[in-house]
Amino acid sequence: MRGWQRFKQNRLAVLGGIVLGAIAASIFLLPLIYQVPVDAIDFNQSSLAPSWGHPFGTDDLGQDQLARVLFGGKISLTVGLAAMVVAIFLGTTIGAIAGFYGGWVDQILMRLTDLFLSLPQLPVLLLVVYLFRESLRAIAGPEWGTFILVVFVIGSLNWMSVARLVRAKCLTIKEMEFVTAAKAIGANPLRILQKHILPNLVSIIIVAATLSVGNAIITESTLSFLGLGFPPDIPTWGRMLYDAQNFLTSAPHMALFPGLAIFLTVLSLNYLGDGLRDALDPKT
């Protein structure tokens, strides 16, 4: 209850939660009402400005922008959430093991973390996607192959900060009295880690997960903008920006609405994460 009271006092965090909820509700519920095909091509309606018939206008192929933004939002959010799960799982596992066991285990895992931190993320991301994209597409199909590759690569390149946070917290918790008492009565180290340490890491994991979703959405949008994301016939927010780059002067609305969707979603997630961090911080 105290955490909720502190969260409510942070107006930006509350506003971020409201905006994010509105975006998610629009993405998943509005298509039930606004049933316009995302792939219906009509060159007579190409590059139309926003109107009552097309609230977000149309693109160069005459496709409805609102329908494509809503459809692309599902993909972008799904990729962000799935990549977050991968990053949180890897970061929590590595950080908890390093912090709990210490010694040479800690040294090896932290040097591995430093190695991944030293890698230039975008070039590595582009290289891996370029090398393995066609292989996974041949195995799982164009859509699922790209989805699996993008989620795995983004998640596996964003776990390092989570691992450092979890390790630092774990180093503090394992010295507390209740952990010492559990060791004194002969509790198994794995049980101590699962039952006593991991539950006390939930607050920082929640905050890290919130911020990780926004980072994953930005990364997926970057890949799609560079033409290495999903196939061209699958609209994502990044792909829509890529398609709009040649029409910025004649049809700026093609870039405005997907760009605004990315901006509002990531900004809301960041404010929400900041609010959760302050609300769940035991020092406050």
Structure tokens at 187: 């509790």
**Rounded to whole angstroms, what are the CA distances from 202 to 55, 96, 209, 276?**
42, 12, 10, 11
What are the average pLDDT values for consecutive 10-residue runs of the chain, which has 284 residues? 72 86 89 84 82 85 88 88 91 88 86 87 82 82 82 88 88 80 77 78 82 84 79 82 83 88 88 77 56
Residues contacting residue 229 through CB under 8 Å, at least 6 positions apart: 146, 150, 220, 223, 236, 238, 239
**Rounded to whole angstroms, what are the CA distances from 165 to 6, 179, 219, 265?**
22, 19, 21, 24
What's the CA gap between 114 and 104, in Å, rounded?
A: 15
What's the CA gap between 139 and 191, in Å, rounded?
A: 39
The overall pTM is greater than 0.85: no
What's the CA gap between 213 and 221, in Å, rounded?
A: 12
Contact assessment for residue 222 and residue 215, using Cβ atoms and an 8 Å cutoff? no
What's the CA gap between 126 and 220, in Å, rounded?
A: 11
Instruction: Look up residue 47 and give its amino acid.
Output: S
Contact assessment for residue 154 and residue 216, using Cβ atoms and an 8 Å cutoff? yes
Instruction: Look up residue 269 and give its amino acid.
Output: L
Structure tokens at 117: 């931190």
What's the CA gap between 134 and 149, in Å, rounded?
A: 10
Q: Which CATH code, of 1.10.3720.10, 3.40.50.300, 3.30.70.360, 3.10.580.20, is assigned to 2-31+58-280? A: 1.10.3720.10
What are the extents of the domains in the chain?
2-31+58-280
The angle formed by the CA atoms of residues 268, 282 and 192, to the nearest 5 degrees, is: 105
